[in-house]
Amino acid sequence: MIPLDEARAFVLAGCTVGHPRAVPLAEALGLVTSVPVEAIEDVPPFDNTAMDGFAVRAADTAGATDDAPARLAVVGTLAAGAAPDVPVGPGEAVRIMTGAPMPPGADAVVMVERTAVVDDGSAVAVQVEVGPGNHVRRSGDDVRAGDLVFPAGTTLTPAHLGVLASVGVRRAPVHPRPRVGVISTGDELVDGPEPLGPGQIRDSNRRMLLALVERADAVPVDLGRIADDEAAIAEAFAAGAESCDAIVSSGGVSMGDFDFVKVVLDRLGDMRWMQVAIKPAKPLAFGTIGTTPVFGLPGNPVSSLVSFELFARPALRKMMGHATLDRLRLTAVADEGLPRRPDGKVHFARVLVTYGEDGRFHVRTAGGQGSHQLAATAAAGALAVLPDGGGVGAGEEVRIIPLGDLGTLA
Ligand code: AMP
Ligand code: MG
């Protein structure tokens, strides 16, 4: 057996960052910028009002109070999106809505709440003295043309995409999403609704792995379920290596396998067959067909999932240019014992996670810990890391790897 870190390092070394490309903002969410992004326009692009109210000359409001308002003639109205046509002269005001450009001559805005309409709207009584610049948003005070908006290596969030749209950037320079082909192998597998024949099981891994690829922000490509036939397996992997940037397969990598997966992958590619000191997911094959990385994950569904989390997900993140490859590891309190036996392996127990009133995360087992018991794993919010030894006692601390958003933990 080889240690987890060694297997992980070997896998990562076989994966390279994708060539940068400019992609439309609509496709850029979650991707990583490959170069610094500069603004090509000022934001805001012009001086405008932050409030609904009246654009005025600040000097005209000198000494104004509730009891002694300044009376100004209303010479026009400006909505957001309108061009400022009427200038504001001494003793004048223009009614103005949030976001509308400042009209020439005006240097301040009085919010509508501090005014009263007089003479059927032909004049306004301003009840407060304001200084120049009051409620005015200056052009460029968010971002200036030529400014660095984000450095290279920024993971684009919804807010980042909003900023790029605001500065006129239409395509983001990013490392693209890898297309990841997913293959299931094994003669026992069936798809579809037909009744199961003797010895048959339904293919659960393909659906799960396609979804895991999608969750990792890569593009899932369904390469199908391949019967245990040498020619069919060869054809599927060769075609996948051509059309995809990576292949994730499940099944056929454990010791006592009858499958042709090993034979075929050794012929087509440069593979290493590993026994990693972890449970579940001990067997792992990794290598390349041409330059396409191939992840041969074990067939047991829980093993497939854990193997994807520990090896394929970090590798796909590397290919997408992320600096942080692994999920956050947190510390939690085990509310019940998580026992295990010493066997030279690190165990990843599937646990339910809650956030306690004591401000700490708490875990307990998610149920059956067999590597075929996917239903219990589906309920789990995290993997608890149990180093070799006797496990963790009730009330002790344990490291956990949350599998989804922290916000989804109850
Ligand atoms: P293998 O890694 O091919 O030796 O398979 C280990 C176990 O996982 C066996 O019980 C298989 O039947 C099961 N298995 C393999 N592939 C899948 C799959 N795609 N969906 C569900 N179970 C699978
Ligand atoms: Mg098999």
Could you read off the pLDDT tens digit of each residue along the chain, which spans 410 residues? 999 999 999 999 999 999 999 999 999 999 999 999 998 889 999 999 999 999 999 999 999 999 999 999 999 999 999 999 899 999 999 999 999 999 999 999 999 999 999 999 899 999 999 999 999 999 999 899 999 999 999 999 999 999 999 888 899 999 999 999 999 998 899 988 889 999 999 999 999 999 999 999 999 999 999 988 899 999 999 999 999 999 999 998 887 666 788 999 999 999 999 999 999 999 999 999 999 999 999 999 999 999 999 999 999 999 999 999 999 999 999 999 999 999 999 999 999 999 999 999 999 999 999 999 999 999 999 999 999 999 999 999 999 999 987 766 65
- How many whole angstroms from 375 Cα to the centroid of ligand 1? 15
- How many whole angstroms from 311 Cα to the centroid of ligand 2? 20
Q: Which ligand is nearest to the CA of 184?
A: 1
Residues in contact with ligand 1 (CB, 6 Å cut-off): 184, 186, 188-189, 201, 203-206, 250-254, 257, 298-301
The minimum-distance atom of ligand 1 relative to the CA of 300 is 8
Q: By alpha-carbon position, which residue is closest to atom 5 of ligand 1?
A: 299
pTM: 0.88
- Helix/strand/coil (H, E, C) string of the chain? CECHHHHHHHHHHCCCCCCCEEEEHHHCCCCEECCCEECCCCECCCCEECCCEEEECHHHHCCCCCCCCEEEEEEEEECCCCCCCCCCCCCEEEEECCCCECCCCCCEEEEHHHEEEEHHHCEEEECCCCCCCCCEECCCCCECCCCEEECCCCECCHHHHHHHHHCCCCEEEECCCCEEEEEEECCCEECCCCCCCCCCEECCHHHHHHHHHHHCCCEEEEEEEECCCHHHHHHHHHHHHHHCCEEEEECCCCCCCCCCHHHHHHHHCEEEEEEECEECCCEEEEEEECCEEEEEECCCHHHHHHHHHHHHHHHHHHHCCCCCCCCCCEEEEECCCEECCCCCCEEEEEEEEEECCCCCEEEEECCCCCCCCHHHHHHCCEEEEECCCCEECCCCEEEEEECCCHHHCC
The minimum-distance atom of ligand 1 relative to the CA of 283 is 2
- How many whole angstroms from 251 Cα to the centroid of ligand 1? 5
- How many whole angstroms from 287 Cα to the centroid of ligand 2? 19
